[in-house]
Amino acid sequence: MLRKLAARSPWLYRINTGSCNGCDVELLTTACIPRYDVERLGCRYCGSPRHADIVLITGPLTVRLKDKVLRVWEEIPEPKVTVAVGICPVSGGVFRGGYSIAGPVDKYLPIDINVPGCPPRPQAIIEGVIKARDAWLARMGG
Amino acid sequence: MNDIFPALFHMLVFPGGLFALVAGLFLKGLDRRVEARMQRRVGPPLWQPFLDIVKLALKQTVIPATAQRTAFLAAPVLGFAGMAVCAALIPVAGAYAGLPGLGDLLVLFYLLPLPAVALMVGGSASSSPFGALGFSREMCMMLAYEVPLLAVLLAVAMKVGAATGVGVEFSLSAVVGYQLAHGSLALDPVMWPALAAYLLFLPGTMGVPPFDVPEAETEVLEGPLLEYSGPALGFFHLASALKTMVVLGLGVAMFFPAPLPGGALVNVAWFLAKCAGLMLLTLTVVKAATGRFRVEQAFLFYLKYPAPLALLSLGLAWRGL
């Protein structure tokens, strides 16, 4: 019961692992512009990984960022759900095979939800957030 | 002994403790909802702050290895406790007269900065460089907005004291009592500058834009709150909800407490409505419409505008006008 209530307050945290910023713009757009409002789901972007419940990862994971991304991900308190936004975290996207790419992200982190697209549509991102919320509820044992 | 139980009731149930907590959280929800509507969004449900608190209560608390454990965990409780006591000191005209002998403007002046102090203690105990940055910014803001606050409180005390012939009247119940008999202070032109100063003080003390310098999430990653998670963070949110109630209630009590004819329940609702109106005017609209000051801009703003306004009222009240 309490867990069901808690699941209506998922706070989002964005990690950019070397993305081209396209997905990040889409993420901000889903939150900020009136048409696609994620705050009505109780979501809120937070500035600190310690406050986060759902992690949105964008980008192909570059070599230089790998350790830092893993460290930030470790900082997020349990239970947490990881969402890969865009095709870069899955496959490397247009950066695939580049000398600077250490990804894909799921070699290092357990990805729960994939939102494919380059960049994904806002509706798809919101659907991903909702699925992540359900996964999060299951992880809390509710 | 006989005084203790009513006092405890006032601190734990009404108007402090439970009542202030629920009202404060709903005010926060209203704030978020109206802000969303101003930006043409749907916004979260009104009870969203309750859901957030439940969520935080169920999360894991991470304590940084280098943090000072005791201070890190005690700070949020300190801020919360200070505000819970504060909320019991605010009279609700027509329903609650305030704690006799305790409801004092000076006590409030000392208790009001407690959440800010808690933030500073927590931020510096967290051993995070962003916490330290937030600490210095919070300190700076506090020095700036406490000046007009003190001048406003003194002006009110001086005004009521001069009118009732006791010199300076610091008792909040007496301040409200005077206004019930002689009309609200907000109707007195002498007090208009002080009222304006208090309205400008509200966004600063609540740390909302454009004065959210200490917790700026895009600059210092939420500053002192950076390392907090789970229930400890929840306590900061509860303290903030209580503080919303306290500073708004104090404003209502000092400037326009006039009750409605009718029972206590009507007047509690009327008091909450006034608090909500004050919040929408000074916090929500300002927050949704502005960016963020730099720290020195915010500091100078408080010394340039609210402080002289409050001092003007203080001077006029001192001359017996």
| Residue range B120-150, pLDDT digits in tens | 888 888 878 887 888 888 888 888 888 888 8
Do the chains contact at B58 and A51, CB–CB below 8 Å?
A: no
Confidence grade of residue B217 (pLDDT, cut at 50, 70, 90): low
What whole-number percentage of chain A has pLDDT above 70? 98
Please tell me whether residue A36 adopts helix, strand or coil conformation: coil
Where does residue B112 rank: exposed (0-12), middle (13-18), buried (19+ CB within 10 A)?
Answer: buried
What is the rounded average pLDDT of the residues B312-319?
82
Residue B211 has, within 13 A of its CA and on its CB side, a CA count of 25
Mean pLDDT across chain A? 85
Q: What is the pLDDT of residue B1?
A: 45
Is B40 touching A (CB cutoff 8 A)? yes
Q: What is the pLDDT of residue B313?
A: 84
What gap in Å lies between CA B196 and CA B147, rounded to an integer?
14
Residue B58 CB neighbours (<10 A): 19
pLDDT in tens, A16-57: 888 888 888 888 877 667 778 888 888 888 878 888 889 999
Facing residues of B96 across strands? B92
Closest CA to A47 of B191, B292, B10: B292
- Select from A3, A42, A51 the Cβ nearest to the Cβ of B48: A42
Do the chains contact at B58 and A8, CB–CB below 8 Å?
A: no
Q: What is the pLDDT of residue A22?
A: 86
Q: What is the pLDDT of residue B90?
A: 83
Facing residues of A84 across strands? A57, A114
Which of B:4-33 have CB within 8 Å of A? 32
Confidence grade of residue B219 (pLDDT, cut at 50, 70, 90): low
Q: What is the pLDDT of residue B218?
A: 65
Q: In the CATH hierarchy, which top-level class contains the domain A12-136?
A: alpha beta
pLDDT in tens, B244-289: 888 898 888 888 887 777 777 888 888 888 888 888 888 888 887 8
Domain boundaries, chain A: 12-136
**Which one of B31, B40, B55 makes the best mutation probe of the A interface by having the most chain A beta carbons within 10 Å?**
B55
- Cβ-based contacts of B57 with chain A (< 8 Å): 2, 6
Do the chains contact at A50 and B217, CB–CB below 8 Å?
A: no
Q: How near does any CA of chain B get to the CA of A43, in Å?
A: 8
Q: What is the pLDDT of residue B181?
A: 78
Q: What is the pLDDT of residue B233?
A: 87
What gap in Å lies between CA B312 and CA B321, rounded to an integer?
12
Whether the pLDDT of residue B301 is over 80: the answer is yes
Task: Establish, for the pair of chains A and B, how many residue pairs have beta carbons separated by less than 8 Å.
Answer: 91
Do the chains contact at A47 and B221, CB–CB below 8 Å?
A: yes
| Beta-sheet strands, E only, within chain A | 11-16, 44-45, 54-58, 81-85, 113-115
Name the one residue in this structure whose structure tokens are 């009505």.
A40
What is the rounded average pLDDT of the residues B65-89?
83
Q: What is the pLDDT of residue A31?
A: 67
Q: What is the pLDDT of residue B2?
A: 58
pLDDT in tens, A53-72: 899 999 888 988 889 899 88
What is the rounded average pLDDT of the residues B281-306?
83
- Cβ-based contacts of B58 with chain A (< 8 Å): 2-3, 6, 140
**Which one of B25, B58, B127 makes the best mutation probe of the A interface by having the most chain A beta carbons within 10 Å?**
B58
Strand A81-85 relative to strand A113-115, pairing: parallel
Mean pLDDT across chain B? 82
Q: Scanning every residue of chain B, which has its alpha carbon at the shortest distance from the alpha carbon of A75?
A: B62
Do the chains contact at B36 and A37, CB–CB below 8 Å?
A: yes
Do the chains contact at B51 and A37, CB–CB below 8 Å?
A: no
Whether the pLDDT of residue B101 is over 70: the answer is no
Residue B205: partners with Cβ closer than 8 Å, 6 or more residues away? B112, B116, B145, B149, B243, B247
Q: What is the pLDDT of residue A142?
A: 61
- Cβ-based contacts of A46 with chain B (< 8 Å): 217, 222
